[in-house]
Amino acid sequence: MKIAIIGAGLAGLSCAITLEKHGLEVDVFEKRGMSGDRFMNAEAMFSMTQHPVTDGVKFLSETYGIHLKPSSSIQRLQNYSKNEKSQLDGQLGFIFMRGKHPESLESQLVSQWKGQIQYRQDVSYDDIAKEYTHVVIATGDARDTKKLQPYDVAFKATFRGAVVEGDFDQTEAHAFFNNDFAPKGMAYLLPHSDSKASLVLVYPQYHENERLDKEELWEMCYQECCRRLDQDLKIISNFSLKDYMIGKAEHSRIGNTFFIGNCWGAITPAFGFGQFESMLTGIYAAEDIAGKGDYEELTKHLSQGYHDSLTLRRGLEKLDNQKLDLLTKSISNKFAEELITSKNINLFKIIGRALHPFSRKA
Ligand SMILES: Cc1cc2nc3c(=O)[nH]c(=O)nc-3n(C[C@H](O)[C@H](O)[C@H](O)COP(=O)(O)OP(=O)(O)OC[C@H]3O[C@@H](n4cnc5c(N)ncnc54)[C@H](O)[C@@H]3O)c2cc1C
């Protein structure tokens, strides 16, 4: 058996670590000079989107021996619509640093694999397939999947973001649902520390959004964030990303070619979370290669989660600012808060079905 992984991101590295635990050698190719050599940002891992897992960090550690240190745990989520505000309290999830940060999720995973990543190797499937019996595609880019099989694109997303300086509570995340600047999308602020945070605006590139001026939306988003946090946030670096593809591959594997992470369809479309799911697909593919499971079977619950999340997105997209206000307001009572943070109820699935009568099954 000769195994190659293309891409040393979250999915590729989780796959390499798991293969090593099963005693299998693998060659990992990474096009960048180091793992995570990209803009720095904070990303969230929310327990409420990982049902039935209640603590992703504990789960990965105890079940798969992958040990992660978040930069902070989220104890409060402040939600803002145009005219309303609500908050959720509890052990809601974690924040991880990504990209060029010494404690980034990528560098934490690199340190748990004993092999040597082959850096500056921008390889294609065709380059690799001749030489290896098993190829794992983990480039984080669904365009690579599309070259080999059907990939159902839910939408392409535009991101505009910045690292901002201010005064933050590291245990508090902020989410903005306001069609004025985040049309059918959202914005969020996640602290890196008590003085730095990532502010990110993300929205789908639907036809009606394409004519909007991204910089104007960003300016509105930034002003609204300053207003809500009652601070003059200082922008210290910017990033911008277009055509980020969110969707789902038709097949998890084709013969001995495995699709993992974003190349599989690991991003849940409602809110764009994909870290936890990407790592799981990497682990599951490795288990299959090691003869310990069946990748298609193991990913079934993630496929269902993807489709439930897409249903929820399609429902949320129908809400104008007035309805978003109503939804935000409805979260601001103890009963709703308990439902959302409940370990036993997959509330997002229920809301998705309620908002969208034509739900799809995996
Ligand atoms: C701005 C932004 C914010 C996000 N926020 C969140 C969040 O808050 N919470 C959350 O859960 N998820 C979030 N996500 C999604 C999450 O980051 C992804 O789902 C996850 O990183 C996907 O992991 P992956 O391993 O598939 O890809 P990546 O982690 O992107 O890794 C892919 C790797 O492959 C390498 N590569 C690409 N092409 C080649 C090639 N030809 N040869 C060799 N190497 C190659 C790349 O350089 C990269 O290192 C966010 C995404 C973005 C863009």
Which of 10, 66, 174 for a ligand 1 pocket mutation test, highest count of atoms within 8 Å of Cβ?
Answer: 10
Q: Residue 272: CB within 6 Å of ligand 1? A: yes
Q: Residue 261: CB within 6 Å of ligand 1? A: yes
Distance 90 CA to ligand 1 centre (A): 28
Q: What is the pLDDT of residues 277-332, one digit of tens each?
A: 999 999 999 999 999 999 999 999 999 999 999 999 999 999 999 999 999 998 86
Structure tokens of 240?
Answer: 């911008």
Task: Measure Cα distances from 78 to 87, 200, 224, 225, 232 in Å.
Answer: 4, 15, 14, 11, 18
The CA radius of gyration of the chain, in Å to the nearest whole number, is: 20
Q: Which atom of ligand 1 is nearest to the CA of 276?
A: 11
Q: Residue 259: CB within 6 Å of ligand 1? A: no
Whether residue 38 contacts residue 99, with contact meaning beta carbons closer than 8 Å, is answered with yes
Distance 262 CA to ligand 1 centre (A): 7
Query: pLDDT 10s per residue in the chain (362 long)?
Result: 999 999 999 999 999 999 999 999 999 999 999 887 788 899 999 988 887 888 999 999 999 999 999 999 999 999 999 999 999 998 999 999 999 899 999 999 999 999 999 999 999 999 999 999 999 999 999 999 999 999 999 999 999 999 999 999 999 999 999 999 999 999 999 999 999 999 999 999 999 998 899 999 999 999 999 999 999 999 999 999 999 999 999 999 999 999 999 999 999 999 999 999 999 999 999 999 999 999 999 999 999 999 999 999 999 999 999 999 999 998 866 666 666 666 666 666 666 666 555 444 43
Which of 139, 188, 239 for a ligand 1 pocket mutation test, highest count of atoms within 8 Å of Cβ?
Answer: 139
Which residue is listed with tokens 């989220």?
A: 74
Distance 244 CA to ligand 1 centre (A): 10
Closest protein CA for atom 30 of ligand 1: 140
Percent of the chain with pLDDT over 90: 84
pLDDT value at residue 360: 47
| Domains, the chain, ordered by start | 3-355 (3.50.50.60)
Q: Which atom of ligand 1 is nearest to the CA of 122?
A: 42
Q: Residue 99: CB within 6 Å of ligand 1? A: no
pLDDT value at residue 343: 63
pLDDT value at residue 359: 45
Q: Which of 307, 4, 21, 272 has its CA nearest to residue 156?
A: 272
pLDDT value at residue 35: 82
Q: Residue 15: CB within 6 Å of ligand 1? A: no
Q: Which atom of ligand 1 is nearest to the CA of 267?
A: 19
- Count CB atoms within 10 A of the CB of residue 135: 23
Q: Residue 70: CB within 6 Å of ligand 1? A: no
Q: Residue 9: CB within 6 Å of ligand 1? A: yes
* Sheet architecture: strand order including 257-259: 26-29, 3-6, 134-137, 257-259, 253-254
Task: Measure Cα distances from 4 to 30, 145, 283, 284 in Å.
Answer: 11, 16, 15, 16
What are the two backbone dihedrals, phi and then psi, of residue 275, each rounded to the nearest 5 degrees?
Answer: -65, -55
Q: Residue 139: CB within 6 Å of ligand 1? A: yes
Q: Residue 11: CB within 6 Å of ligand 1? A: yes
Query: How many Å apart are CA 21 and CA 64, to the nearest integer?
Result: 9
Q: Residue 8: CB within 6 Å of ligand 1? A: yes
Rounded to a whole number of angstroms, the distance between the first and last alpha carbons of the chain is: 32
Which of 262, 271, 281, 302 for a ligand 1 pocket mutation test, highest count of atoms within 8 Å of Cβ?
Answer: 262
pTM summary value: 0.94
Q: Which atom of ligand 1 is nearest to the CA of 14?
A: 25
Which residue type does 73 have?
A: S
Q: Residue 273: CB within 6 Å of ligand 1? A: yes
Q: What is the pLDDT of residues 235-266, one digit of tens each?
A: 999 999 999 999 999 999 999 999 999 999 99
Closest protein CA for atom 38 of ligand 1: 139
Query: How many Å apart are CA 283 and CA 245, to the nearest integer?
Result: 22
